[in-house]
Structure 1
Amino acid sequence: MTASSTLTRPGRAAVSGAGRPGRRGPRRPPGLPWILPALVLSVGLIYYGIGYTGYISTLNWDGISPGPESVGARNYTRIVHDPVFWAAVRHTVVFFVVTFAIQTLLGLAFAVMAHSRLRLAGLYKVIVFIPVVLAPAIMAPVFRHMFAPDGELNAVLSHIGLGALAQPWIGQTSTALPVIMFITIWQWTGVTFVLYYAAMTQVDPSILEAARMDGAGNLRALRSIIWPELRGTTVALAILGAIGALKTFDVPYLVTIGGPNYATEFLGTYIYRQTIPLAHVGYGAALSIILLVVALLMALVLQLAGRERDAGRR
């Protein structure tokens, strides 16, 4: 009895063990219930919206008529030969290069000052960051009046004896785009400052102390130690700045409405102009798809450039 029962036990155990997986079935990922709402939101809204926009981009449609005409890739062909589109691309590139360079310099300088022995440092940080929390819709009338022909800027220039420099800043093509860039730099330098300030707190103080013991001054320590440690933050800011430049809409639309003579036309304002006032919904959708593709490619290029730079350092 004992031997037979001992011989049969392994078989029973093997049979029961082999049968368990078949009865249970495949196991679900344990975190699926937690990510399911975000997954449904992303797939149901974002990706569905992208797909539907891609479909609309193949139509000649005003957004209201019940029978849209399918035109295939004709809207994309029209984009290639659209001079206003290429002007908007040129404005976007210039806008990104200038604003990113100046914001990087100012944000880095403000962060270095905040890390030094500065009196009223808390008030200083608040003053630098205040423009970030102000809505462009609130500040747009202020800037329109400031840069108007009879605005405060020209009045100040006249009072200090530089009246010859007074001009309609947002009313001529040569100065309208620099005004938009100035407003953007004033508004978003606070973000650059905060990110650089946070990144500087991660620099090992012992390395800075060793550099100072070796005779390195403040500028040498900034150039040789702190700035290389901030490259990851700089790449992230470049990606955010590039995507933000491609999405620029509120400031140029509220201040200059894309004018004068398309001098401050960006991809965002041009998409709105084509879709809403002109009712070229299909063409506006094609512009939106181009904007999405360019944003993804630019983010990918900047990310790869940052990785190659880090690999070269190692």
Structure 2
Amino acid sequence: MTATTTRVRPERKAVVQGSGRMKKPPGLPWILPALVLSVGLIYYGIGYTGYISTLNWDGLSPGAEHVGAHNYTRIFHDPVFWDAVRHTLVFFVVTFVIQTILGLAFAVILHAKLRLAAIYKVIVFVPVVLAPAIMAPVFRHMFAPDGELNAVLRHVGLGGLAQPWIGQTSTALPVIMFITIWEWTGVTFVLYYAAMTQVDPSVLEAARMDGAGNMRTLVSIIWPDLRGTTVALAMLGAIGALKTFDVPYLVTIGGPNYATEFLGTYIYRMTIPLSHVGYGAALSIILLVVALIMALALQFAGRERKGR
């Protein structure tokens, strides 16, 4: 009887023995690698870039002149910087609107019962997986003065429209936007297609029973349910526009006459070829701040609309 009353259950014993120790957070071993990576690499890099942005340095010489905020004041008087900002805004608005329209149209069409729908999905998504470095020579040759586009125009009797598409300031930026739309519409299509599968079929059936046509159903029922996806795509498009580098650099190298200069290409131009590392670092900090502001603004706008 005495042995039975003094017996301690194993779980209780473990608790008693460990009560004097400080318990570790159960998820710490899992988040520690990501924490080390983000704090030790990303945030350290941001801080070091911020420090370099206060220097007048070419990146190689041992001595660097501390200039404080001079690089930042110089940015706001730099006409090329403001051209790059304007190109980025126009690029974002045009590509986002057209990709949204095309992606939604493809998603609606392929949600219908079409033959060979799987093949069509692959065709729409293939440009996303193609590396810009592979496709850039193709587009450079296609839009050259003696390229395929001008050859087709001359063949169909529209030779008067033939022109050096990437060799003049009036058409170089639209060409870059066309290439980007061709490349990234597949992502918009996939996200809209996946979001449309979450729409309640009973709601669609009720709309059809009430006499709503396809366009009315799309505008009044499907499109409002896709608002969250649209906001996410807007955030991705805004950040992607701010980071645009590969297509304009590989196709036009930011030219002609800075007509396709973006913030990413301008940072590279100032940092590597011209060796203005401090000025390039200041441009990078400005780019980071603008990207954060745009992301927060779009996220806040999405939450406000959802609340309404």
CA positional deviation for 1:18 = 11
Are 2:165 and 1:169 aligned?
yes
What is the distance in 1 between the residues matched to 2:164 and 2:260?
Answer: 15
What is the distance in 2 between the residues matched to 1:62 and 1:82?
Answer: 19
Where structure 1 has 5 or more consecutive residues not aligned to the other structure, the ranges are: 1-16
CA deviation vs aligned residue, 1:44-100 (integer Å, no higher than 9, x gap): 110000000000000000000001110000000000100000000000000000000
Closer/same/farther in 2, CA of residues 20 and 252 from structure 1, 3 Å limit = closer
Q: Which residue of 1 aligns with 2:281?
A: 285
What is the distance in 1 between the residues matched to 2:168 and 2:298?
Answer: 34
CA deviation vs aligned residue, 1:151-192 (integer Å, no higher than 9, x gap): 000000000010000000000000000000000000000000
Q: How does 1:35-46 map to 2 (within 5 A)?
A: 35-46=31-42
CA deviation vs aligned residue, 1:96-138 (integer Å, no higher than 9, x gap): 0000000000000000011011110000000000000000000
Secondary structure of 2:145's match?
A: coil
Q: How many residues align?
A: 294
What is the distance in 1 between the residues matched to 2:234 and 2:185?
Answer: 13
CA deviation vs aligned residue, 1:10-40 (integer Å, no higher than 9, x gap): xxxxxxx99975x32x322111011101110
Alignment counterpart, residue 110 of structure 1, candidates 98, 106, 110: 106
Q: Which residue of 2 aligns with 1:69?
A: 65
Q: How does 1:3-42 map to 2 (within 5 A)?
A: 23-24=20-21, 26-42=22-38
Q: When the two structures are superposed, what TM-score results if normalisation uses the length of structure 1? A: 0.92
What is the distance in 2 between the residues matched to 1:307 and 1:90?
Answer: 27
Q: Which residue of 1 aligns with 2:266?
A: 270
Where structure 2 has 5 or more consecutive residues not aligned to the other structure, the ranges are: 1-14
List structure 1 runs of 4+ shifted beyond 3 angstroms: 17-21
What is the distance in 2 between the residues matched to 1:156 and 1:164?
Answer: 12
CA deviation vs aligned residue, 1:223-278 (integer Å, no higher than 9, x gap): 00000000000000000000000000000000000000000000000000000000
Alignment counterpart, residue 246 of structure 2, candidates 244, 250, 259: 250
State the structure with more CA Rg: 1
Q: Which residue of 1 aligns with 2:156?
A: 160
CA positional deviation for 1:307 = 0.6
CA positional deviation for 1:303 = 0.4
Q: Which residue identity is paired with 1:99?
A: T
Are 2:229 and 1:239 aligned?
no
Q: Which residue of 1 aligns with 2:120?
A: 124
What is the distance in 2 between the residues matched to 1:67 and 1:261?
Answer: 34
Alignment counterpart, residue 191 of structure 2, candidates 187, 195, 202: 195
Q: When the two structures are superposed, what TM-score results if normalisation uses the length of structure 2? A: 0.94
Secondary structure of 2:151's match?
A: helix
Are 2:255 and 1:259 aligned?
yes
Closer/same/farther in 2, CA of residues 18 and 117 from structure 1, 3 Å limit = closer
What is the distance in 2 between the residues matched to 1:296 and 1:32?
Answer: 28
What is the distance in 1 between the residues matched to 2:302 and 2:17?
Answer: 52
Closer/same/farther in 2, CA of residues 69 and 215 from structure 1, 3 Å limit = same
Are 2:46 and 1:50 aligned?
yes
Alignment counterpart, residue 131 of structure 2, candidates 132, 135, 138: 135
Are 2:294 and 1:298 aligned?
yes
What is the distance in 2 between the residues matched to 1:266 and 1:239?
Answer: 18
Secondary structure of 1:150's match?
A: coil
Are 2:288 and 1:309 aligned?
no
Q: How does 1:93-104 map to 2 (within 5 A)?
A: 93-104=89-100
Q: Which residue identity is paired with 2:201?
A: P
Q: How does 1:200-215 map to 2 (within 5 A)?
A: 200-215=196-211
What is the distance in 1 between the residues matched to 2:173 and 2:290?
Answer: 22
Are 2:220 and 1:221 aligned?
no
Q: Which residue of 2 aligns with 1:178?
A: 174
